[in-house]
Amino acid sequence: MPAPEPSPALPARPQTPFDWEGLDRQGLPRRGVILAHDVALARAALRRQGVRIARIGVAAGTSGGRPGTISSTRRIASRPAHRRRRAGIGDQQVAAFLRQLATMLQAGLPLLQALDIARGDGAADMAALLQTVRADVAAGESLHAALARHPRQFDPLVCHLVRAAEQAGMLDTMLERIALYREKSLALRGKIRAALTYPCAVLVAAMLVTLVIMLWVVPSFEEMFRSFGAELPWLTQAVMAISRALGRHWPVLLGVLALGMVGAGWLRRQAWARAAWQRASLSLPLAGRLLRQAAIARWSRTFGTLFGAGIVVVEALESAAGSAGNVVYAEASHAMREAIGQGSTLQAAMRNTGVFPEMTIQMLAVGEESGALDAMLARVAELAEREVDDAVNALTSLMEPIIMAVLGILIGALVVAMYLPIFSMGSVL
């Protein structure tokens, strides 16, 4: 009986080259090309060789290599750390770029291709910056090192998080967290500015209108009243005296105003002056609660983002101290760091600072005990941001009648002062 013919062998599924970047067992940066049937097998092969993957994606070209091999470490040429200042790039553009980059990496696009797409969608200044970042990454630098060369757009906190994500092989997930963090921070900053800008703008406009009346309108009335030959009411005399003083000494007053603006700018650059103002601002009758909740929201979201990225508590508290935007909470974060380093719990260290509300302390205690501290910190930040929204609405609603009352008294007093002599004209005649 003839032997059965062997069945024809199925054609082997072709392997795909994947570009990868990461750190080897010694912590040195490595990059290369690995052949595998899919990205999951490529990741598994690299992990077996002790590589901590920072980025992996389908290779743009067809450069080959033996399956599972690791290319030698490439030395990266040093580049100047100081680049041209790009003042046209706003925080909104940076947040949009981080969100776009996270989405493309989650979709499986290689990092260089994602940077190319983001560069094509950005404005001129942003495209130039991304071109520089892309060139640095293509030359072999890690993404966090390329971003760190542009501190005006990517602060040390963002670079620190990107570095931790590259080491852990979770760059796409961390970029999404960073984008959410930046978007929430920008929204919170916008709400505070909106709450404080409106009353300031109305008061400045009122001052300008008052100056116009005092410098041009009141002198015309004074010429007319001088022909009456009668004694003017005391309110009218006071307004005219102020008008004459402003007309006579306006250069001096303008110089004092300019000197005050220069002095205010100098004080803003002094650390002790900023610290004193930040301490005092928390005790303001109307805006104090708003600023306190805003600081708690920023601190909680930063701390939660860092802790969720796998950074230890003491290091996360150190970075969160600089993101609170207020020296009181920065000092509290440093004090918590010292206490935890000496063996204290997060709940006890937070309570000892005396600057966090009891509800925040209890929520973090639950998160610490349940092992979901990052999720609980996100809830604390959301709650604080909601309270900021309520405080902004309440402050705006309260400031409107106050401003209207002040403007009514000011303008009304000027109008009454100018028309009192006219009302008494009959008695003069």
Q: Are 88 and 123 in contact (CB under 8 A)?
A: yes
Of 154, 184, 214, which closes a domain?
184
CA–CA gap between residue 98 and residue 174 (Å, rounded): 10
- Note whether 158 and 253 are same-domain residues: no
- Supply the pLDDT for residue 69: 39
Q: Is 277 among the domain residues?
A: yes
Burial 345-366 (b: 16+ CB within 10 A, else e): ebbebbbebebbeeebbebbbe
- Note whether 242 and 138 are same-domain residues: no
Q: Is 10 among the domain residues?
A: no
- Note whether 223 and 172 are same-domain residues: no
Q: Is 230 among the domain residues?
A: yes
Q: Is 7 among the domain residues?
A: no
- Note whether 112 and 243 are same-domain residues: no
Q: In this predicted model, what pLDDT tens digit does every residue of 305-347 receive, in sequence order? A: 878 777 788 888 877 887 777 889 989 998 999 999 888 888 8
- Torsion angle defined by CA atoms of residues 341, 343, 345 and 350, in that order, rounded to the nearest 10 degrees: -50
Q: Are 306 and 320 in contact (CB under 8 A)?
A: yes
| pLDDT at residue 62 greater than cutoff 60 | no
- Note whether 53 and 157 are same-domain residues: no
Parent domain of 126: 91-184
- The reply to whether the predicted model has a pTM over 0.75 is no
User: 3-class DSSP state for residue 57?
Assistant: strand
- Note whether 99 and 195 are same-domain residues: no
Average pLDDT, the chain: 78
Q: Is 11 among the domain residues?
A: no
- Supply the pLDDT for residue 259: 92
Of 6, 33, 58, which closes a domain?
58
What are the DSSP calls for 292-357, one per residue? Answer: HHHHHHHHHHHHHHHHHTT--HHHHHHHHHTTSSSHHHHHHHHHHHHHHHTT--HHHHHHHHS-S-
Confidence of residue 88 (pLDDT cuts 50, 70, 90): low
Q: Is 71 among the domain residues?
A: no
- Note whether 155 and 195 are same-domain residues: no
- Supply the pLDDT for residue 336: 92
Of 129, 150, 184, which closes a domain?
184
Q: Is 78 among the domain residues?
A: no
Tokens of 303: 């701390």
- Supply the pLDDT for residue 26: 58
Q: In this predicted model, what pLDDT tens digit does every residue of 194-222 receive, in sequence order? A: 777 777 888 888 888 888 888 888 888 87
- Note whether 200 and 178 are same-domain residues: no
Confidence of residue 406 (pLDDT cuts 50, 70, 90): confident
The residue type found at 59 is: A
- Note whether 218 and 164 are same-domain residues: no
Q: What is the total count of domains within the chain?
A: 3
- Note whether 192 and 177 are same-domain residues: no
Picking from 5, 3, 36, 2, the residue whose alpha carbon sits closest to that of residue 19 is 36
> CB count, 10 Å around CB of 419?
12
